[in-house]
Structure 1
Amino acid sequence: MKTLKFGGTSLANAEKFIQVSSIIIKKFKNDQVSIVLSAPATITNKLEKSIKKCIKKIKNPVDELIYIKNFFLKLIKDIHKSYNQYPLETIYKKINKKFHKLHDIFDKIKLLKKCNQNIQAQIISTGEIISVILMKELLKTKGYSITEINPITSIVATNDYLNAIVKIEKSKKIFKKINISKKNIILMPGFIAGNQAGELVLLGRNGSDYSAAVLSVCMNSEVCEIWTDVNGIYTVDPNIILTAKIISEITYREASALSWLGAKVIHPFSIKPLKSNNIPCIIKNTNNPNYPGTIIRNKKIDRSSVVQGITYIKKIVLIKIFGTKNFNINNITYKILQCLSSNNIITYLFNNSIAENTVSFYIKKNFLIITQKKIENTLQLELDKKLLKPIFTLKGFSIISIIGSNIKKYYSSILKKICLIVQSFNTKIFSISQNVPDISLSIVLKDKKIIPIIEKIHNLIIHNIKLINIFLIGVGGVGKELLKIFSNQYYILEKKSIQLNINLIANSKNYILNKNTIDLNTWENRLNQSKKFFNLDKVLTFPKKYGLINPILIDCTASQNISNQYSYILKSGFHIITANKKSNASIFSKYLQVRETAKIYKKKFFYETHVGAGLPIIHNLKNLLDSGDKLIKFQGILSGSMSYIFGQLDHGNTLSESVQKAQKLGFTEPNPKDDLIGTDVARKLLILAREAGYKLELSDIKVEKILPDSFKEIRNKKIFLSKLKKLNNLFFEKVKKAKNEKKVLRFIGTIEKNGACSVTIHAVKKNSPLYHIKNGENIFVFYTKYYNPIPLILRGYGAGNIVTASGIFSDLLRIIL
């Protein structure tokens, strides 16, 4: 025996009814089936609204009833078009009789201006009863015999007309007396049961799931199938989060938690009878019947995922009851729980705080008035005696819940991620609770931004996606190459569950922003057309406005102004990756301040490209020092442009020719004078010395002059290159002298054991590691406690836009990974 329940969306029209009949017949060929049917989609809601409108005299309910009646009449006519033997007249008479009775009931409601719950139950169960009438005749038309079960006489429930609880054992005894042929398909309307007096009662909204669970137990079914319009249970509501995933298997305990905490998975009361009788439940899709769906069962599931699903409840209200100093709130806690239970008021996150002497819980907003009234009536004596303060309520909250069997083990790490996400939206968590111990974690926060927060939690925890938000300032040569790397590496990173979003691209004047990601195929045109003047303060507020949890500012400028604000940027929640050497080469107190700020705010501050472009110089030096090594001496060629220029001098080129070639190849700064005065090398040397622990200023670095003082005032690049020719002979003689000594000239940075730093033109012998360095190569020679007398040597291209961009990308990977 299998029990199948078909929901309202599965019975929304004639085509769906016929589709469901085919599924029933296919299942029946293999095993006997018992079927529970809901009302077609929206019918129950319309009947409920009709009652409210009738009482309030907002609208004549006859119009609503005519609409519902016409819906069913059209449905049977459409079925008849496909099956001309379908007994149209017989069904029409039954529907007509049913609606004639409804009209009489509504006339009485109109007259009395009220509708008792027993009458309300009779009205809103109409859809389920008609569904069975239609399906019964359709299956009979197809040649099958039907046994129809009347739930009013067969399923015994409590006296609550709208939210009755089934008495399983009593119902089982009744079913044992029912004689059902194994050749028959069993049909029963969902949502309906009967009380001890034989009156129709309802099992709560969406109670057809509950009916199916009860029928499964009473018929000793081996499985209960819930057929709906989705492929199964999802990790989150797929209507709001497009990246929701199907859950193939889930425990009853997890499914129950999801249901109680807001997910439209299965009626919460359905779980207990199925679980108690060890009947697995499968959630199936009527539109995709061959899809395996989601199976719910008792069996412990061996899986690596920590979290099974995320659910939420919007528009909830906090109710808080305060005891006075002379009254212990524990004295009335049971009284409150009994009041809530007897009135079928569903609460969330119930909490009895001894420290605060309070009882608090959350309810759905539409239950506020009735809940407040019932609680006040229950506690009237205590309120009159001033033992309790007036009942406190606060609206506008939502609950987000994370469900999974492994949550207890990873509670701290999950909560840390959730807090990070909520904080990124500039929102606060109002309350944290484990509503269902061991398998759930719930947070309460304001309704605002609830869906984007859920999406971020889902991506970070379910998909384990690492979200990276890039704010790029500076799109010269290096910035452009970096964007090319981003474009090329995007899908490679995506396969590693890393989502790279470019949220800002800016130059010195304008910027473009996008809360999702900027299209890297069109960014240049958009930036050129942008009329937004760059404003750092506005940019720094962007992550909290849109909940960007991992913003990284990448500075590809040479701006002193930007580098001066690094501490402010770090405080605003950004990591920083910089190719701008001015921050690390500024005054020592500023150098320390940035690092201290990064440490306090737990942000990364990376600057690998400051010394060796794409070469991992700083990272390796730090690793050495962290392992207990100590720098004894350093020598190196730290400038790719000067490496190229001095290499050209080796080949007999003049100084001016060598500089012009280096400029054409992109090795030099925009104005080559900046390379030749040695300041760039001095900055790099200063950064290395500081990393080694020396407290130095830029003025402490001794730089040998290449250019005479007369060159200082020259700002025009063309004039500078023209005047540079005057130094050709001087350098020709220097090169000639070095050659005669079997040496070559190199522009070398040195750090001595005592921390003395110098940048000099030096003639080196052939056995020196620096001898062969030219054509833009850099070399870094570290003599340390561990690497001595043979030094640690790092060598490679240290100049050029591509290698610098790759160095920045390497820093980015260090933050991500």
Structure 2
Amino acid sequence: MQVLKFGGSSVANAANIIKVTTIVADAVKKDRTILVCSAIGGCTDKLIKAASLASERDPRYKEIVESLESDHYKIIGELIPEEYRSKINARCSNLFESLKGLLEGISLTGELTPGSCDLAVSYGELLSTSIISAKLSSLGINNIWTDSRELVKTICHNSQNIVDIEATNRNIVHFLGANGTKLWVVPGFIASDHKGRTTTLGRGGSDYTASLFSAASGARVLEIWTDVNGMMTADPRVVPDAKTIENISYKEALELSHFGAKVVYPPTIQPAVAGGIPIVVKNTFDPYGASTVIENRPPDGRGKIRGISGSNKIALLSLEGSGMVGIPGYSARLFTALANAKVNIVLITQASSLHTMCVAIEESAAETAGSAVDETFAYEISLSKVEPVKVERGYAIISLVGDDMKNQAGTSGKMFDALGRAGINIRAIAQGSSEKNISAIVKGEDSDDAVRVVHEEFFGYKRERVNLFIAGFGNVGKSLVNLINETKKNIATEWGKDIVVAGICNSTRCIIDKEGVDLSHAQELLLCGKATDITGFVREISALSLGNSIFADCTAQNTVAMQYADILEEGISVVTCNKIALSSSMEYWDQLKRVALDRRVSLLYETSAGAALPVIETISRLKVSGEKILSVEAILSGTLNYLYSSYDGSKSFASLIKEAKEAGYTEPDPRVDLSGTDVLRKCTIIARECGFRAEQKDVEIEPLVDKALFSGTLCDFYNKVEEWEPKFLQRYNEAANKGERLRYVASIEQGQYKVGLRSLPTSHPLYNISGTNNSVMITTSNYPAGVVISGAGAGARVTAGGVLNDILKVGI
């Protein structure tokens, strides 16, 4: 014997019912089958609405009935061949006439009793199963339809209808024995009391019906067919990469369901659980796809963690007071007060000092619960032994579920660490001694983000996912995007990382896609992106709360640089080629370093000082190994080095500047390069990395040209530089006559910082540095001859490569 249950979405229309009958036809070939079905999708809600309108004497209830009638006859017309329709049409006609009579009676009396409401909604299952039975018969599949109200019996207990298990089991066993066939079709959800009055089984009622029949018949399996591929490791609407749980124990399934997983409802599957009957959750729309087996003893070899669930609309009730310490009975009184008010407790925490008790309840019951508790402790409150109960709304419970987590060290630590890295504050924690679940209460607005980051921690990609947000889509930004697109397969293989560009912004627009921007069309997408500035872009990133996020600054903008502290505070690492932030005040430098350390995220800025050369990393490692940095001499501007290594008087200096700008060697405004400001900033950053408390004002700087030349337009600037040509030529000849070369050099020694043009002899290590190359010579106590690092120092592709290298180093 097997029991198959199909929910409302599975029988919502003719096309879906065809899928159901195909599945049932295959099932009947294997074993005797009991088929339990819900009403067609949305029917129950419409029947409740119609009954409510009728009780208000609102004639619109008739429109709802007409709509339902039309829906059901449409399904019959599409589903059942004409020669088989007369019987089912007559059956449905009788049911609708009976329904109309009931609703007319409700309208006349103006009263809707619980019994009348139960009777009204029962028509949904009676109609759907009658149609499905008729369809099966038209296919030549013999079946017996039976009214489950004759078998499933309820009794009234504390104003609630509960199943009379003994009578129900006896009825089902007798019925199956007296009616031999291979297929029985049974309406779900509905029952009757011992006087024959229609009752319903409440939430998950059709599952309950199926569970009752499986237990009474001793079925080998209960299959619950729904619209998802079994139970998932998380809600796929929240976590798109959630996976199907292949095997799960009854206890694990009940824990997940208690805290929000909606595939099964704990009370309804209890009969099957008690009978040790395996429950298989399958997808009507993907019958051969992944599914979940819920059983008493799942096979060994499974992971310890089964899934993460989230339950929203939670309120916290906190009872505090010094009068509670050491006095027995407070907990019992609190729980009794809530029970008497019919308030269900979802989660309990209590401080070991007994000074505070906190319970989580459904938000809809918050007001009732608060009043009940205050009334119970009114005397203690009047004596200030206990404070009035504190009611806080807008919370959610995130639960990590798995058997025997107590034997897997660090589970709770990993969960809380993941939430902490995402900047999600935990309000309360609960963990059972069996460690089948670990629950944390967070703000409701953080619920989805919390589920995502915890899921990624325990069920994430085998490769590490890096969520990258790029600020700036000029030469460097575009080069970075192209480089990532070209190398992503190699990065995945060699580094074990999947770089997902989840956002890009320029000065006026941004695009955000947590699943990843289509990099091959990034330019077009950005043109149509959301209008915003960098502050808005950062807000969008923060709102996503994606774990393992990196902000890459490919701009030269102060407005972007001043956002770093806020970005780091959100638990997002920063990689930058922007020199402004790291060369601004020491106060800001200290703040960035401190926040990055406190939030345990990375702040990497290798490309802010020496293009893609490992200058910062080398200095850092030298210091860590105990080296004392004595001095640094460096060519730090690929632009200026290109100009001076190319200049010999055959071309004017102004024409070389134009060539450098066209080649992409200069800053967007080449005057920044010629002012020495770019090198000044780099010098400041390197000095700080060496351990000096350097400010820009401490650096002695020699601009290449007089400051007066920088006023006006860029065209004006080029004209003025042409006028300076004799001075450039004179200085060049002076150096050349001595066999020396002019180079723009930054020097750091004993707290003295200089940036300017120097004439270098042939013996100097920087003498032969040509083109756009940079070179840095670091002298230390153990390396008196200097450690020299040389290589390309200009170009968008080079800089983008350095930024990508820093991105890959985050977290290492």
TM-score, normalised on structure 1?
0.79
The CA deviation string for residues 44-85 of structure 1, in whole angstroms up to 9 with x for no partner, is 222222332233333465554454455444544544436x2x
Q: 1:300 to 1:641 in 2, by over 3 A?
A: same
Q: Does 1:775 align with 2:776?
A: no
Output the CA distance in 1 between the equivalents of 2:532 and 2:154. 70
Output the CA distance in 2 between the equivalents of 1:379 and 1:531. 50
8 Å contact kept, 1:229–1:286: yes
Output the CA distance in 1 between the equivalents of 2:465 and 2:259. 27
- Partner of residue 114, structure 2: 117
Q: Quick one: which amino acid aligns to residue 284 of structure 1?
A: K
Please give the secondary structure, in 2, of the residue aligned with 1:774.
Answer: coil
Q: 1:204 to 1:393 in 2, by over 3 A?
A: farther
Deviation at residue 265 of structure 1 after TM alignment: 0.2
8 Å contact kept, 1:575–1:604: yes
Output the CA distance in 1 between the equivalents of 2:666 and 2:399. 55
- Partner of residue 26, structure 1: 26
Output the CA distance in 2 between the equivalents of 1:380 and 1:580. 62
Q: Does 1:7 align with 2:7?
A: yes
- Partner of residue 802, structure 2: 807
Q: Does 1:397 align with 2:394?
A: yes
Please give the secondary structure, in 2, of the residue aligned with 1:713.
Answer: helix
Q: 1:141 to 1:683 in 2, by over 3 A?
A: closer
- Partner of residue 266, structure 1: 264
8 Å contact kept, 2:316–2:395: no
- Partner of residue 307, structure 2: 308
Output the CA distance in 1 between the equivalents of 2:102 and 2:640. 97
Q: 1:652 to 1:176 in 2, by over 3 A?
A: same
Q: 1:131 to 1:661 in 2, by over 3 A?
A: closer
Deviation at residue 33 of structure 1 after TM alignment: 1.5
Q: 1:317 to 1:112 in 2, by over 3 A?
A: farther
Q: 1:92 to 1:622 in 2, by over 3 A?
A: same
Please give the secondary structure, in 2, of the residue aligned with 1:231.
Answer: coil
8 Å contact kept, 1:328–1:357: no
8 Å contact kept, 1:493–1:500: no
- Partner of residue 713, structure 2: none
Deviation at residue 132 of structure 1 after TM alignment: 3.7
- Partner of residue 717, structure 1: 718
Q: Does 1:134 align with 2:135?
A: no
8 Å contact kept, 2:760–2:766: no
Output the CA distance in 2 between the equivalents of 1:61 and 1:564. 61
Q: 1:390 to 1:317 in 2, by over 3 A?
A: same
Q: Quick one: which amino acid aligns to residue 617 of structure 2?
A: H
Output the CA distance in 2 between the equivalents of 1:17 and 1:527. 45
Q: 1:617 to 1:422 in 2, by over 3 A?
A: closer
Q: Quick one: which amino acid aligns to residue 273 of structure 1?
A: P
Q: Quick one: which amino acid aligns to residue 405 of structure 1?
A: G
Q: Does 1:412 align with 2:446?
A: no
Which sections of structure 1, spanning at least 5 residues, go unmatched?
A: none
Q: Quick one: which amino acid aligns to residue 623 of structure 1?
A: R
Deviation at residue 771 of structure 1 after TM alignment: 5.0
Q: Quick one: which amino acid aligns to residue 470 of structure 1?
A: F
Q: Quick one: which amino acid aligns to residue 362 of structure 2?
A: I
Please give the secondary structure, in 2, of the residue aligned with 1:159.
Answer: strand
Output the CA distance in 2 between the equivalents of 1:729 and 1:259. 84
Q: Quick one: which amino acid aligns to residue 640 of structure 1?
A: G
8 Å contact kept, 1:656–1:725: no
Q: Which moved more, 1:444-453 or 1:183-192?
A: 444-453
Q: 1:725 to 1:300 in 2, by over 3 A?
A: farther
The CA deviation string for residues 167-204 of structure 1, in whole angstroms up to 9 with x for no partner, is 55665455555526765312322223455666554321
Q: 1:161 to 1:5 in 2, by over 3 A?
A: farther
- Partner of residue 291, structure 1: 289
Please give the secondary structure, in 2, of the residue aligned with 1:779.
Answer: strand
Output the CA distance in 1 between the equivalents of 2:64 and 2:258. 32
Q: Does 1:761 align with 2:762?
A: no
- Partner of residue 619, structure 1: 617
Q: Quick one: which amino acid aligns to residue 412 of structure 1?
A: G
Please give the secondary structure, in 1, of the residue aligned with 2:46.
Answer: helix
- Partner of residue 39, structure 1: 39
Deviation at residue 515 of structure 1 after TM alignment: 5.1
The CA deviation string for residues 473-519 of structure 1, in whole angstroms up to 9 with x for no partner, is 5x65445544544665678879944432335312xxxx224454888
Please give the secondary structure, in 1, of the residue aligned with 2:797.
Answer: helix
Q: Quick one: which amino acid aligns to residue 136 of structure 2?
A: L
Deviation at residue 677 of structure 1 after TM alignment: 7.1
Q: Which moved more, 1:561-570 or 1:36-45?
A: 561-570
8 Å contact kept, 2:144–2:181: no
Output the CA distance in 2 between the equivalents of 1:706 and 1:336. 76
Number of aligned residue pairs? 790
Deviation at residue 701 of structure 1 after TM alignment: 5.5
Output the CA distance in 2 between the equivalents of 1:130 and 1:559. 67
Q: Does 1:276 align with 2:244?
A: no
Output the CA distance in 1 between the equivalents of 2:600 and 2:574. 12
Q: Quick one: which amino acid aligns to residue 505 of structure 1?
A: N
- Partner of residue 56, structure 1: 56
Output the CA distance in 1 between the equivalents of 2:792 and 2:663. 13
Q: 1:119 to 1:794 in 2, by over 3 A?
A: same
Output the CA distance in 2 between the equivalents of 1:263 and 1:113. 39
Which sections of structure 2, spanning at least 5 residues, go unmatched?
A: 711-716
Output the CA distance in 2 between the equivalents of 1:686 and 1:661. 28
Output the CA distance in 2 between the equivalents of 1:289 and 1:561. 55
8 Å contact kept, 2:278–2:295: yes
- State the identity %: 26
Please give the secondary structure, in 2, of the residue aligned with 1:53.
Answer: helix
- Partner of residue 159, structure 1: 156
Output the CA distance in 1 between the equivalents of 2:708 and 2:15. 87
Q: Does 1:639 align with 2:640?
A: no
Please give the secondary structure, in 1, of the residue aligned with 2:30.
Answer: coil
Q: 1:184 to 1:304 in 2, by over 3 A?
A: closer
Q: Quick one: which amino acid aligns to residue 723 of structure 1?
A: W
- Partner of residue 233, structure 1: 231
Deviation at residue 555 of structure 1 after TM alignment: 5.0
Output the CA distance in 2 between the equivalents of 1:601 and 1:745. 45
The CA deviation string for residues 254-307 of structure 1, in whole angstroms up to 9 with x for no partner, is 322332233320232244333333322222222333324333233156455846
Please give the secondary structure, in 2, of the residue aligned with 1:58.
Answer: coil
Output the CA distance in 2 between the equivalents of 1:664 and 1:187. 79
Deviation at residue 359 of structure 1 after TM alignment: 6.5
Q: 1:559 to 1:725 in 2, by over 3 A?
A: farther
Q: 1:232 to 1:542 in 2, by over 3 A?
A: closer
8 Å contact kept, 1:132–1:189: yes
Q: 1:74 to 1:684 in 2, by over 3 A?
A: closer
8 Å contact kept, 1:689–1:755: no
Q: 1:436 to 1:77 in 2, by over 3 A?
A: farther
Please give the secondary structure, in 1, of the residue aligned with 2:289.
Answer: coil
Deviation at residue 728 of structure 1 after TM alignment: 2.4
Output the CA distance in 2 between the equivalents of 1:587 and 1:240. 42
Deviation at residue 692 of structure 1 after TM alignment: 1.9
Residue correspondence of structure 1 range 681-696 to structure 2 within 5 A: 681=679, 683-696=681-694
Q: 1:723 to 1:602 in 2, by over 3 A?
A: same
TM-align CA RMSD:
4.9
8 Å contact kept, 1:320–1:358: yes
Output the CA distance in 2 between the equivalents of 1:257 and 1:531. 42
The CA deviation string for residues 347-399 of structure 1, in whole angstroms up to 9 with x for no partner, is 4224567745656441262x678x669x95x9978769988999969585353
- Partner of residue 714, structure 2: none
Please give the secondary structure, in 1, of the residue aligned with 2:156.
Answer: coil
Q: 1:685 to 1:278 in 2, by over 3 A?
A: same
8 Å contact kept, 1:397–1:444: no
Q: 1:477 to 1:347 in 2, by over 3 A?
A: same
Q: Quick one: which amino acid aligns to residue 312 of structure 1?
A: S
Q: 1:258 to 1:664 in 2, by over 3 A?
A: closer
Q: Quick one: which amino acid aligns to residue 36 of structure 1?
A: V
Deviation at residue 462 of structure 1 after TM alignment: 5.2
Output the CA distance in 2 between the equivalents of 1:567 and 1:357. 36
